Chain A
């Protein structure tokens, strides 16, 4: 019995609402904080899932795109432009409404770019970098591709660690809230902010973004591009011969997954009011790849469930100092006993007709 795509999405929506209502009724709303953060990480993971599972391209550098989103947005919304106020460029930006004035916690005047302007810049930049990086990188195969993406991630990590504008080792703090809709009448404002009072709104916001992201990706998989990708996954030569523009498809998906990561970076940075270099580290990239693998390479739902739940547990510090060790154990266990992802275990227990897509990553 196959559950349709729409029904799954509706189930997810229901679950999201149910969770919120339950936590409110039981007075355990604090769970929403980590659920919100996990949702943003989930966005990175599903974007990477499509790249790895459907386009068959590994990327050990996705934390780099997350960091591009987060850091650009954080730097633009915290770097004080008061001294440059009278320069033509800044006054032009000011007239265009790109700037925002506020006071910091110590009462000093701050003039920075508005979050939405920073957000758009960050996403565009991530897309551009992904595009120009994707063209040469995606020509590489197997371990060489892994190396190149790892290299990209390392470069970004090194740059944020070495650049004073990005706060070097401390990262950036005091990132303002991202107001999407100002307060209208008695309605509260909709803004991305870690404030406890805005938690429920932020929870829905994060999950809304995640669900929309999921719908778009599911549609992509079922579209022409998705079919092309699948053909490319089984045999690149055959796909090429039947007129599929393989390299174009790969770059397209690479850019999309980079934008997903960057968007997650932007939103989470505003939610956390800061970002640090650990978000750009190679270990983070490896974690994303591992989450996709544990969830099942060609199983976007599995990726989503695993990505959210493991991140949630880790953010709550459930495993204490054994966080990485437990993660590694799960990783090895799933890869040994159920290489098609944790959800495929279901298939072993309840044999069904539905064939689980075999993991064919020979050409990675």
Chain B
């Protein structure tokens, strides 16, 4: 049995700081205490607590992103600590809920860096917040691993800023490649009015000429839209349109799929990697059938070949997430998974040192993650290649690999 003093000392370590990950975690702390008791006091004295900050939009308009991200990050840190931490050190995750507001994210970033003296910050969930924190992280030399999509976050590169979701430009290229195969040249682009939609629109417009695709119409809809049949009527009236690209991360993207099919318009519908959530397929029901979109391999983990480097970790993550939170894992949670995983790898090598961890991340090669296989370099702070995407489609309410037609 561990002595009371040890237990107390452990709780102390974990309770200081802001909101700590180990809610209702006393039992596991006790277990850790037990293991420490076995190895003796010397080990306990040397073990450090490495603080990691996280800023997620757990509430507010971007909660559908921040929720799964925060849950995933908490789960992963717990798992790491349960498995004995990193080289004997335990991680402490301080999660701050920004509600999707940049001003809060700014305040929290300063707080985490200066007050909690965190090693690194994971998040924020949205591009707008990430862009505002980029400068703060850079100035104070704290690693920031953003879970937002905009390519702008890592291009131009800032030395301390990384991001885990695949680049928008890759998704756009994947879509255009598929269009080329299908002989589609004239398209309409509709996006949601979030940072995700905005950068998607920019990338599509920038890359379209390379593939000889012409964008005939572009529209932005509200993230809280309740029905978009007027927009569909407008697009449908342009007869030259051969395909519609709907680039969005908000629930309204299912509404537009429904509205298009309701008007009897059987135009090919492409979506972005923001569609990578089975909830959106369920919401669109029958109308989701045949939607083509690029996404990471998380959604089709079961069908991957056994020798695929991502397979084992994806299956395990999906299982653990499903068991713990009783909901399907989505690509969104995967962004946070990668952020924690990358930090884990870097800390293993570099320990509790901001500069060294930054260098270690930049040196990571061929690390399998939820969104793809990461290989960073001083020029590439995203670390994913075009290959991280596969084209998926929806068949009988399930995601399957798109095989071409």
- Which residue numbers of A lie inside 8 Å of B, CB to CB? 30, 33-34, 37, 105-106, 161-162, 167-171, 173-174, 194-196, 268, 272-279, 314-317, 320-321, 323-324
Decide: A323 and B59 in contact? CB cutoff 8 A.
yes
Decide: B150 and A170 in contact? CB cutoff 8 A.
yes
CB distance from B202 to the nearest CB of A (A): 10
Decide: A173 and B193 in contact? CB cutoff 8 A.
no
Cα-based distance from A105 to B156 in the complex (angstroms) = 9
Cα-based distance from A106 to B135 in the complex (angstroms) = 11
Cα-based distance from A323 to B100 in the complex (angstroms) = 13
Decide: A317 and B108 in contact? CB cutoff 8 A.
yes
Decide: A278 and B101 in contact? CB cutoff 8 A.
yes
How many residues belonging to B are interface residues under a CB distance threshold of 8 Å? Answer: 44
Decide: A170 and B131 in contact? CB cutoff 8 A.
yes
CB distance from A22 to the nearest CB of B (A): 16
B103 within 8 A of A: yes
**Minimum CB distance partner of B110 in chain A:** A33
Chain B contact residues: helix, strand, loop or mixed: helix
B96 CB contact (under 8 Å) in A196, A272, A317: A317
- Which residue numbers of B lie inside 8 Å of A, CB to CB? 18-19, 58-60, 95-97, 99-104, 106-108, 110-111, 114-115, 126-129, 131-132, 134-136, 138-140, 150, 156, 158, 193-199, 220
A273 CB contact (under 8 Å) in B108, B111, B132, B195: B132
Cα-based distance from A300 to B69 in the complex (angstroms) = 42
A272 and B106 contact, Cβ closer than 8 Å, known pairs A194-B136, A321-B58: yes
Cα-based distance from A254 to B96 in the complex (angstroms) = 36
Decide: A316 and B198 in contact? CB cutoff 8 A.
no
Cα-based distance from A34 to B111 in the complex (angstroms) = 9
CB distance from B127 to the nearest CB of A (A): 5
Given contacts A169-B196, A272-B132, A274-B132, 7 further A-B contacts (CB under 8 A): A161-B193, A170-B150, A173-B131, A274-B131, A279-B101, A317-B107, A320-B18
A320 CB contact (under 8 Å) in B19, B135, B156: B19
CB distance from B79 to the nearest CB of A (A): 22
B135 CB contact (under 8 Å) in A33, A34, A174: A174
Residues of B close to A274: CB separation below 8 A = 102, 106, 131-132
Decide: B132 and A173 in contact? CB cutoff 8 A.
yes
Residues of A close to B134: CB separation below 8 A = 173
A324 CB contact (under 8 Å) in B59, B136, B198: B59
Residues of A close to B193: CB separation below 8 A = 161-162, 168-169
**Minimum CB distance partner of B98 in chain A:** A317
The 7 closest A-B pairs by CB, nearest first: A276-B102, A278-B101, A170-B128, A274-B132, A173-B131, A30-B115, A315-B107
Decide: B97 and A279 in contact? CB cutoff 8 A.
no
CB distance from A3 to the nearest CB of B (A): 33
**Minimum CB distance partner of A278 in chain B:** B101
A317 CB contact (under 8 Å) in B111, B195, B196: B111
B107 CB contact (under 8 Å) in A168, A316, A320: A316
**Minimum CB distance partner of A284 in chain B:** B101
Decide: B97 and A323 in contact? CB cutoff 8 A.
yes
